């Protein structure tokens, strides 16, 4: 398969701690590829080895089929989790400064429009809101017109409106044929943006594929949540710790969750048991459920 980026047996060891364990990944050009995993899974370590910030203990990193070299540094854009911006410099001046570091340069006027920087173009870069700062950092990652962009948890700490605004910008960047590698703790973000995801745990890939394909492979049917409040334990007793037709029942803190591949049959059984339907929630399984199932740890929604 034609990969723009590939890692083979990538390993990072810190004394007796194996952070990344013989990792194999391939990223196709023009997609948004998500690296997901709980804290300590090896996501950021993997990115930093690919970016050249950390030396791998062993393994190979290929860019367009060749070992990474000087051309990679000119053609890659990076938005780090934390970036210090120079003080007393306006946003437009910051972009000009960073642009001077590269032989290949994006048009700053286009970046200004693409990342929606007009409203604070002449403002001190250290006086921006969280969402404005992330839009500037995305523009800085694009200042050399890169072929591949790394976004390391770019929306952490943003409010929902700012996060969704950033998603729209990422989609615009991807629509221009750029390849994006994204790490995130937000499962909704991964589902919204990523064409393909790899879930890491303890430095190895435990699942990989498109979000919808992974959900289809691991889940069937619907989840029906029945709140405990207002329901007698006797009425709910038939639901506990047993299978109901094609359904499986789990007791949660404040509800009973019924996983069913035939929701119509399950609902008829609940009605036959005279279970009140007030407050019942019916939903499909999502990436949060998949993340919890595979890693035993919840993501952020």
Average pLDDT over residues 44-58: 94
Q: Which fold has domain 5-216?
A: Rossmann fold (3.40.50)
Domain ranges of the chain: 5-216, 220-284
- pTM over 0.85, yes/no: no
Determine the pLDDT at residue 241. Answer: 47
Give, as one character, the DSSP assignment of residue 124: B
Q: Indicate the pairing of strand 196-201 with strand 204-209.
A: antiparallel
Give pLDDT tens digits for 148-195: 999 999 999 899 999 999 999 999 999 999 999 999 989 999 999 999
288 Cβ partners below 8 Å, 6+ apart? Answer: 187, 298, 299, 301
Give pLDDT tens digits for 239-285: 554 455 566 777 777 888 888 888 888 888 888 878 878 888 898 88
| Angle at which helices 160-175 and 130-141 cross, to 10° | 20
CATH of domain 220-284: 3.30.70
Determine the pLDDT at residue 283. Answer: 87
Confidence of residue 67 (pLDDT cuts 50, 70, 90): very high
Q: Are 21 and 45 in contact (CB under 8 A)?
A: no
Computed over every residue of the chain, the mean pLDDT equals 88
Pick the closest to residue 191 from 92, 288, 108, 59 (CA basis).
288
Residue by residue, DSSP assigns 59-110 as EEEEETTEE--HHHHHHEEEE-SS-PPPTT-BHHHHHHHHHTT-SS---HHH
| Angle at which helices 211-218 and 287-295 cross, to 10° | 60
């Amino acid at each position: 398969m034609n990969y723009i980026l590939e890692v083979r047996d990538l390993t990072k060891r810190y004394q007796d701690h194996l952070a990344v364990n013989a990792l194999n990944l391939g990223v196709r050009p023009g997609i948004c590829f998500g690296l997901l995993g709980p804290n300590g899974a090896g996501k950021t370590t993997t990115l930093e080895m690919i970016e050249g910030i950390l030396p791998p203990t062993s393994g190979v990193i290929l860019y367009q089929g060749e070992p990474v070299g000087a051309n990679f540094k000119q053609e890659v854009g990076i938005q780090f989790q934390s970036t210090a911006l120079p003080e007393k410099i306006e946003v437009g001046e910051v972009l000009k400064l960073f642009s001077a570091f590269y032989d290949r340069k994006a048009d700053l006027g286009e970046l200004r429009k693409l990342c929606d920087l007009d409203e604070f173009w002449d403002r001190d870069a250290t006086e921006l809101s969280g969402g404005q700062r992330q839009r500037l950092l995305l523009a800085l990652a694009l200042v050399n017109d890169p072929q591949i962009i790394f976004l390391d948890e770019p929306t952490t700490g943003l409010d929902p409106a700012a996060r969704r605004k950033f998603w729209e910008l990422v989609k615009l960047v991807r629509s221009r044929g750029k390849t994006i590698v994204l790490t995130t703790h937000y499962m909704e973000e991964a589902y919204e943006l990523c064409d393909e995801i790899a879930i890491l745990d303890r430095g190895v890939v435990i699942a990989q594929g498109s979000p919808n394909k992974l959900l289809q492979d691991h889940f069937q049917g619907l989840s029906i949540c029945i709140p405990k409040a207002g329901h007698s334990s006797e009425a709910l007793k038939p639901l506990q710790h047993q299978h109901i037709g094609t359904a499986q029942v789990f007791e949660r803190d404040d509800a009973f969750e019924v996983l069913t591949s035939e929701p119509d049959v399950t609902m008829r059984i609940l009605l036959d048991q005279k279970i009140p339907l007030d407050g019942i929630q019916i939903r499909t399984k999502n990436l949060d459920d998949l993340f919890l199932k595979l890693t035993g740890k919840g993501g952020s929604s």
